[in-house]
Each structure stands twice: as structure tokens, then as C-alpha cells.
Amino acid sequence: MAHPRSYRWLILILGISLCTTPLQAWSEGSDDLPEIGAASGNLFTPLQEQQLGKTFMRYVRATQPVIDDPLLDDYINKLGNSLVEHSEGMGSKFTFFLVDSPVINAYAGPGGYIGVYTGLVLTTQSESELAAVLAHEITHVTQKHLQRAWYAASNMSLVQGAALVAAVILGATVGGDAAVAAATGAQAAMQQRQINFTRQNEKEADRLGIGILYAADYDPRAMPSFFTRMGRANHSYGTELPEFLRTHPVTNSRIADSLGRAEVYSYKQYTDSFRYLLTRSTLRERAFHEARDAITYFTASLREGRYRNKAAATYGLALALLRNDQYAKASSQLNTLLQEYPDTLEFIITASRIDMEAGNKRRAISRLEDAVEKQPLSYPLQITLAEFYLRAGKAKTAYRKLSFLASLRPENTHVYKLLANAAADMGRQAESHQHMAMHYYLKGNLEASALQLKIALRVPNLNFYETARLESQLKKVQEEIADLKKKK
């Protein structure tokens, strides 16, 4: 769950959502949506939608445990964008992210931001099923099914509008959360915040999503297969439905319709990618609160042959051993894997991390440098190498690499935190606080961001341009804080 402090922002967000335009028009069955380019002029331009999406994402980070692991982030974005390139959104920017929660759900936000809960990934039985959910959410974006929320937000400031959209979308996915219920104070308000796509929206997302799956070389039958299992769960769960079933109701007619559409494609065998299997092992290992329990689970799985892929199960065991500080045993497992799969990112980075944690910094860095020479465009390799340079006392080298990475991934919260540490090690105190302010800003913690900028302004001997830049950034953050506190 999110850090308790983050709920302060959620309370503000929900307060805005309860004091603004009524949300009845968003309930299922209401079709009086404004057309694109309507005379009212209230709909967003592509640039405004992109800005709304970026601001929306900050409030997602403030209220949900978004994973910033570079390997997991790399996998879900490569999978998602491989589907985008076979959709009507081809060429558009989409950002996919994982939320660390057992919740079985996914959601689409403005600007192409699509969140996937780790519980859903672990529930899927094939990569095609995971791709099916992503394709479905991509279609909700490309077909403008979110216009209800966006239209209401268009009457507000960017910050308030993004907060409202976040409340609407996240209200649908975490509607049962006790902290959220306490913040709203009324069950009616909980229901008002729901965003339910119409049956026509869902059928269209299914139809186009199945086409995307086939075009991207994933099993089009995975969509009805996943729906069928969710439908069976519908009967099993009773009133305590998984969130996926609340926000994406599965009916017999919907299953039959998607199955009929999938059957027009010729049958063939589809195999899961190795990275999908490694991602599932990673998430399975993370799901255990205690590393010892994860070690027991993966050890038993390997001993009894209860695995889909032996290398992926071995990787899960190695991760658990690393978390339990059993470096020699973890290294032994990784060395075996690297002999068979020498170019696999997960194995290279984890083996290097074992070396680093065991105190062998030189070998950890050397391994990563060799890998970067072979795969220079790999973001996970580059940011891990920068982190290790920093830990090895090579702040200047780390700073140069991190500055470049920040230009490539300007919304990556982790890179700004590392930049702050590198700048501090180099004696650039004001710059260090400025980077940390950006880290907090992207995480949606505006108060902490403002505090970092105030500290930076107190650093002695700032020149005029540094002072002006910091004051401008502080003013922007303070205006957003004040904007959020306004009641419409």
C-alpha cells in the first residue's frame, strides 16, 4: 500500500472530486458525450491531454505503490508499446507502469498512461493473456472512452483536472480501500466516483484488442480465455469480486462475442517470452514478505518440478537468496544461469548486484560495463551502472551518465534521486536539493518538493541565475499546492 503520508493528497483529490461537476454523466448507459472538436471548445488538444496525463501520473505515484524497478519497468513498457504499434495509437506516446499490489486490475489514464497491478500479472496464465488486458486498455485510450472524465476536468485548472481524473479512475480501482472510504465519509460518494465504461465501450475494446493481439503475434483467443476464467471467478467470489470484474464486468454474451471474434483467426501455438516468465518469478518473489518464505517456495518448486520454466524458477530462488543476504548461494545460482543465458538482462544485472552487495564493487562494475558495450541502448543496464559508479565513489562518472539518462527519461523518479546523491557527493548542494525536489515533485509529494527548493535557496553563494531558477520552480510548486486546496 502507499505510504500513509500520501493519503493527505488523496484526501485533497477526493475533496475536489466531491465539490465539482456532478459525475452522473459518467455512469454506465449515459451516451451524451461531447464530440471531438465540439463547439463548446472544452475538450483537450493533444498537447493539453499530454500535460493532463503527466499531472495525473504524479497523483497516481502519490497514492499508489508504483514500481520503479528498471527491469520490470523495461519489460512492461516493451510489451505494451509492441501492442501500441499495431493499434490506432501507432506513433503515439504510451507509458506503462506496474503497481505493487495483489489487486487484479488494470486501468487507462489520460495521455496514454496505463497502470497494471502486479496481482493481475500473476493471475495471467500466459503472456498473451497479459497482452490481451493491455490491448484492451490501449483501445480505451485510442477510442476516447475516457472522454467523460476528461470533459468534466476541462472546466478546471490543469492541476485540479488531473486530480479529478485521478480520483475518478483510481476510485474505481481502489474503491474498497478503507482509507479512501474514511476520506470521503460517505458510501454515496464512493459510488459517485466510479467510472464504468458502457457495454458498447467494452465490446469495442474487446473487438479492437483482439485485432491488436493477432497483429502483434499474440494469441487472439487469450482474451476470451482470460474473460472465461474471470467469469468463473465471478461466481466464486460472490459479493467480493476482484477489482477487474467491478470495472470490466464479464458477462456470458461478452465472452461469447469475444470468442466468436477470436475464432476467425487460424489456430497456432504461441509461446511465452522468457522475459515474461522472469517477470512473473520476480513478482512472485517480491510478493513474499519474508525472504526465507520465498526461498522455501522456490526451493520446493525446483525440487518437486512445480514450475513452468526451470531457469525462471532458479532466478526466483536467486533473488530470494540475495534479499536474504546469502550472496554465495545466490551467486552460484546466477552463474549457472549465465552459462546458459549470457545476454539476459535480468541475469547480468542481478549477478552484478550480488557482487556489489557482497563488496566486490570492481567485478560488479566490470560486468555491467562489458554488458553495456554489447547493449548500449539498454536503460536497465545504464541506470544500474550509474548507480554502481555512485556507490563505488565515482560521483562525476555517475553524474554524467545520470544527466544523460534524465534527458531520455524526464519522468523517471529514481534517476533524479540518484542525481541528487551524485551532486551531493560532488559538493553541489543546491543542485542536489533541486534534483531531490524534482524527485518528490514527480512522486506527487509537493510539500516535500517545496521544502527541498527552500533548502536549496538557503545554500550560500548562489548566483543570480541559480536563485532565479530555484525561485521560479518553488513558485510553480507552491501554486500547485494552493490550487489543490481550492474548493470549486
pLDDT of residue 154: 62
Residue-level pLDDT at 249: 59
Round to whole Å and give the CA distance between 423 and 259: 56
* Residue 99 in this model has a pLDDT that exceeds 60: yes
Active site residue 68: no
Predicted local distance difference test score (pLDDT) of residue 228: 80
Out of 206, 219, 272, 480, the active site residue is 206
Summarize pLDDT for 49-69 with one digit per residue, the tens: 888 889 889 989 998 999 999
Output the average pLDDT for the chain: 82
SS3 95: strand
Could you say which of 49, 100, 127, 137 is catalytic? 137
**What is the CB-side half-sphere exposure of residue 440 using CA atoms within 13 A?**
22
Report residue 95 as a C-alpha cell. 507509458
User: 97: closest CA among 119, 120, 74?
Assistant: 74
Q: Which domains does the chain have, with CATH numbers?
A: 4-262 (no CATH), 275-485 (1.25.40.10)
206 in catalytic set: yes
> Quick one: pLDDT at residue 76?
98
Q: 344: closest CA among 275, 285, 276, 298?
A: 275
Q: HEC string of 96-165?
A: EEEECCCCCCEEECHHHEEEEEHHHHHHCCCHHHHHHHHHHHHHHHHCCCCHHHHHHHCCCCHHHHHHHH
Residues 122-156 have pLDDT tens digits of: 999 999 999 999 999 999 888 877 765 566 556 66
Residues 374-430 have pLDDT tens digits of 999 999 999 999 999 999 999 999 999 999 999 999 999 999 999 999 999 999 999
- The residue type at 390: L
Q: Is the model's pLDDT at 237 over the cut of 50?
A: no
